Structure 1
């Protein structure tokens, strides 16, 4: 499974590199973003399409990394609470088993006689 994952990641990286090389002229095209509100107007400096794509990718990577970390901490907390509940139920089960054990031995002794 590990080799398949490495192979798929390598293929995706090679394809991304091929697309970038073949579309170099289009990727270096400068773009200007503008916001025109009634009370405010903003125009960004010229940025290449490649830099916008990289910034968008890195922004998504950061947000998804933070989301993944938060989800992992939430799952760890859930696992911890479920393990504690399991321990308490095991203790309860053992105490119930220990309560019924003397009765069973007395019954077995009566049957043996």
Structure 2
């Protein structure tokens, strides 16, 4: 899997470099960004287009990294709390096993069951009824 990631990154880097080499004239044109709202006008200095492109790429990478870092922290705290619950339940189970070993259940008396009268067996000479014959 690690080899596939490295190969993917190499191909991505190659395509990016090819893009920059083939489009240098367009990417070096100065770009002037303006924002006007509520009577205020904000204007950036003229910067090459490739700088804006690289800043957008880096900003997207940072936002994704921060999001996934926060998600990892949330999941690790959830896993930690669930692991604590499992440990508490294992301790409780071990305590219950110790108490049952210390005082075992009373063994059933099979002699008392043998002396009890059993239910009468069905009569062997009673005719068996066939439901198909009745129908």
SS in 2 for 1:41: strand
What is the alpha-carbon distance in structure 2 between the residues aligned to residue 10 and residue 107 of structure 1?
Answer: 72
Partner of 2:27: 27
Give the CA deviation at 1:24. Answer: 1.0
- Give the TM-score, by structure 2 length: 0.72
Partner of 1:97: 97
SS in 2 for 1:68: helix
State the number of aligned residues: 109
Structure 2 segments unaligned to the other structure (5+ residues): 111-135
- Give the TM-score, by structure 1 length: 0.84
Structure 1 segments unaligned to the other structure (5+ residues): none
Q: Which runs of 4+ in 1 moved over 4 A?
A: none
What is the alpha-carbon distance in structure 1 between the residues aligned to residue 5 and residue 54 of structure 2?
Answer: 23
Which one has more relative contact order, counting CA pairs under 8 Å at least 6 apart? Answer: 1
Coordinate RMSD, CA, aligned: 1.9
SS in 2 for 1:99: helix
Instruction: Provide, for residues 4-30 of structure 1, a one-character-per-residue CA deviation record: whole Å limited to 9, x for no partner.
Output: 111111111111111111111111111
Give the CA deviation at 1:38. Answer: 3.2
Partner of 1:47: 47
Report matched runs for 1:1-113 at 5 Å.
1-101=1-101, 102-104=103-105, 107=107
Give the CA deviation at 1:71. Answer: 1.6
